[in-house]
Chains A and B, each alone.
Chain A
Amino acid sequence: MTAPTVTRRAGGPDDAIGGVVPREVVRPGTVEEVADVVRAAAADGLTVVPVGGRSKLTWAAPPESCDLLLDVTGLDRVVEHVAGDLTVVAEAGVRLADLQAQLGQAGQLLGLDPPEDGATLGGVVSANASGPRRLHYGTTRDLLIGTTVVLADGTVAHAGGKVVKNVAGYDLGKLYTGAHGTLGVVVSTTWRLHPVPPARRLVTLELPDVAAAGPLSVALARSTLTPSAVELIGTAGGPGRLVVLFESIAESVADQARSTVALLGGGEESEDLPDDVGRRPGGADDVLLRLAHVPAALSPVLRALPAGTAVAAHAATGVSYAAVPAGEAVDMLPRLRAAIAEHDGTAVVLRAPEGLVGRLDHWGPVGDALDLMRRVKERFDPERRMSPGRFVGGL
């Protein structure tokens, strides 16, 4: 019997999520302790909101209630890294950056590069956070091969496994990805890894009009070039910069960078990745949106944004981030959503200045599967105690 490692304290204003101050903050140190805490919360009918590095708390809507803020950063063990199998098992509170540093020692990486500082694996999964290299490695749904989750009643449930290829049973990792803690608490994650590429080369092209990136990105995607990322940084209605990143063996990145300059009709080659590549655009006064759309619709999506909006787009993937000036957001958001709908486009609010939080429709239209999502939520959390109200349709 090991000594309990769970710590508890009263919640304070610094713990607030969307203005909701938790009654208590609980920080367990093991999966068993998480299960105990959640089971006790179930017995008392308490609402529970799990958090990790707290770097993306605004990505979901504010909870209706938060009795317990369940801090999983005490679950910080890298359980098993088998380099020969290119897999790792790590607890939810492990920081992504720490994991990458450890994997890097073995010449490997987890192919996720969201820029939020301090992000933990549990948070990355629950918020489905991604970065520029999603073009090459995909996102959590492509890399997460196993999960352990504590359900609303305290049940500890596994899905997937430790092998890359596995179709036994339902792939529940997909369901927990991007669910923002509304189905349970992600406590452990298993990933497929990739080798660290030995060389890097960039091509940077300045664009007088940011929207010119659309056709260029399509041309890149239809070519035989294999960039790790195609990033657009710029301002709607203004100039932009297209950065094409190659990561492979030296001969390949050199050759591909040359071909890219020819394909784009220009561009500067370099080796160092500028700091602003992969960062989310804008500042605290803006409303930060994540836009998803068919990849080739980048130009019309950019044109649908108010002039002056700072933009950072994973240009060849159909995922873009836009920082809309707060004053325009309330009126603009429904119009933007309507305008990009024809491109299967959606806009989700990731961050808004405090005064705007209740005035923006956080998730926007969800489509005809919302009732089914509600039925899934009801099965997993019939008492609506897990992160209530944080998700689509008030789930």
Chain B
Amino acid sequence: MTAIAEPDTSQRTADLSERLRAAVGTERVLTDRTQVRTYECDGLANFKVTPAIVVLAENRQHVVDTVRLCSEAGVPFVARGSGTGLSGGALPRADGVLLVTSRLRSIGAVDADNRQVTVEPGVINLWVTRDATPFDLAYAPDPSSQLVCSIGGNVAENAGGAHCLKYGFTVNHVLGAEVVLPDGEVVHLGGRAPEHPGYDLLGAFIGSEGTLGVATELTLRLIRVPEAVQTMLVGYRSVEDAAGTVSDIIAAGIVPAAVEMMDALAIEAAEAAVSCGYPEGAVAVLVIELDGPEVEVEAQFRQVEEIARRRNAFETRIAADAAERALMWKGRKSAFAAVGRISPSYFVQDGVIPRTKLPEVLAEIDRMADERGLRVANVFHAGDGNLHPLVLFDDAVEGQAHEAEELAGAILELCITSGGSITGEHGVGQEKRMKMGKQFTAEDLDTMQLVRCAFDPDGIANPGKVFPTPRLCGERPGVRTGEHPVQAAGLGEVF
């Protein structure tokens, strides 16, 4: 489960670190073992690899120089923002450079009339909305980690959040990107206008998990802060009623800003951690938020209340003000961390199913967990069918971690057979690449590799992530090899 690798200390990386120091400054290049170990994992801590070299870039030129030197030396690099990713997308390479972009933190002036702002990749997600607020604007994507996660990482993973249901994902809110390609060339994809002639390479780049290059500047679309926001917390005695409420809301032609669901175990955890005061005895709760023009929100909110009542909601609370709304969200947004209060260890999963299959998939997850004697807490974006099952286990119990990992994998396969996806927002990264072959055919994956090879023919940008099988770009489609060239040359390992 845990990948352990010693950093590469060969002459090759020693030479590269010297060249990097000359190019970007000694103080920005780390090779000291204790210093580089700080970067051995991202938010998915069960994979750890100590990088050979860490570069702390502070401007675009540092990124360009680092990437170009890696390219010349044939050494792989992994870009990393805040390191909050949950799929191991920023897991370093023992034979490579970890390129940290979190010091590229400047935010341009908000262009209020065009509703956009240009930022550097290390800028924290929430800072964008903070800067936009004086203009009554906001940045819509709001992953739960938005206090700490970076825009660069959001773009790499096509980050989502609770309000995707109405507002879409990162890809719907990025207008343009300055990208350093894996050979050091700088290109501009998209821009400030809504369309540009040519292929939508920006669309392909967003969500490519660092395998196509490194963004050094991003132009983000801002949304007008809605006139009204209303949030309700609804308690149910059954998961079916909660799921039924979601279906009925959709069937009524209402598009809520967010519909979030938590089951009994997740509620227990959130309660233990942040005392959010969720309805006692609830088997499931929904957090439902509507936003838009006041008249519209008022009318539809009443309609949603009625729908919930018909679906046997036993308690409905309406947030009277921003503070109460924040408390309702606090329980939801802290759910992952909160599970630590009720279980020594847990796996966070991220799968997607068609929303209409929610009740049967949840029942099946329960059955699968019972069979293994494990517990699963469910937290999810119910509106768009994005599940986050948290598989609880105790490392101290012999074999339980392994069982839990197997269950987490089985849940993903259930998502695929239900017509869904192995990831809705966390990305494939290191963790799920072996599942890609279950969701996609070999031909589908080969087609994606065509894009990879156009951007990164030498395969040095975050190699070993996303795809199950490394491929050489010169190969004919359909012909796969087991070894990456870097690995074949004895220069590193593919974990």
Where the two chains meet, the residues of A that have a C-beta atom closer than 8 Å to any C-beta of B are 82-87, 107, 128, 138, 141-142, 149, 151, 153, 155-159, 161-175, 177-179, 183, 194-198, 218, 221-226, 248-249, 251-252, 255-256, 290, 292-296, 317-319, 343-346, 348, 363-364, 366-370, 372-373, 375-376, 378-380, 391-393
Contacts and interface: CB of A to CB of B under 8 A. Distances in A.
B193 A345 contact: yes
A329 B326 CA distance: 57
Contacts of A248: 293, 296
B216 to A, nearest CB: 14
A158 B293 contact: no
Contacts of A168: 421-423, 428, 432, 436, 439-440
Interface string B416-442: 000111111111100010001001110
Contacts of A165: 160, 164, 169, 352, 381, 384-386, 421, 424-425
Contacts of A177: 200, 203
A222 B113 contact: yes
Given A165-B381, A221-B224, A376-B454, A392 B477 contact: no
Contacts of B198: 363, 366-367, 369-370, 373, 391-393
A224 B226 contact: yes
Contacts of B452: 170
A364 B197 contact: yes
A106 B17 CA distance: 62
Interface in B191-212: 191-204, 206-208
B200 A141 contact: yes
A167 B192 contact: no
B251 interface: yes
B113 A170 contact: no
A144 B461 CA distance: 28
Nearest to B186: A368
Contacts of A86: 250
Given A224-B227, A392-B197, A251 B295 contact: yes
Contacts of A164: 384-385
B409 to A, nearest CB: 15
Contacts of B470: none
A190 B395 CA distance: 42
B194 A369 contact: no
A23 B214 CA distance: 45
Interface in B383-437: 384-386, 419-428, 432, 436
Interface residues of B, number: 91
A128 B439 CA distance: 27
Contacts of B356: 82, 84-85
16 contacts: A84-B247, A84-B251, A142-B168, A155-B447, A165-B352, A165-B384, A165-B424, A170-B448, A224-B224, A252-B295, A252-B296, A256-B293, A346-B197, A363-B197, A366-B197, A380-B450
Given A155-B477, A319-B194, A172 B447 contact: yes
Given A163-B384, A218-B113, A169 B250 contact: no
Contacts of B208: 170
A179 B199 contact: yes
B423 to A, nearest CB: 5
Interface of B: 111-116, 136, 157-158, 160, 164, 168-169, 171-172, 181, 186-189, 191-204, 206-208, 224-227, 247, 250-251, 253-255, 292-293, 295-296, 299-300, 352-356, 381, 384-386, 419-428, 432, 436, 439-441, 443-448, 450-455, 466, 477
B446 to A, nearest CB: 8
Nearest to B298: A251
Nearest to B354: A85
A156 B448 contact: no
A170 B224 CA distance: 30
Contacts of A344: 191-193
Nearest to A195: B253
Contacts of B187: 367-369, 372
Contacts of A290: 195
B164 to A, nearest CB: 6
A153 B477 contact: yes
A292 B196 CA distance: 7
Given A256-B293, A256-B295, 5 more contacts: A155-B446, A171-B207, A177-B200, A224-B293, A249-B299
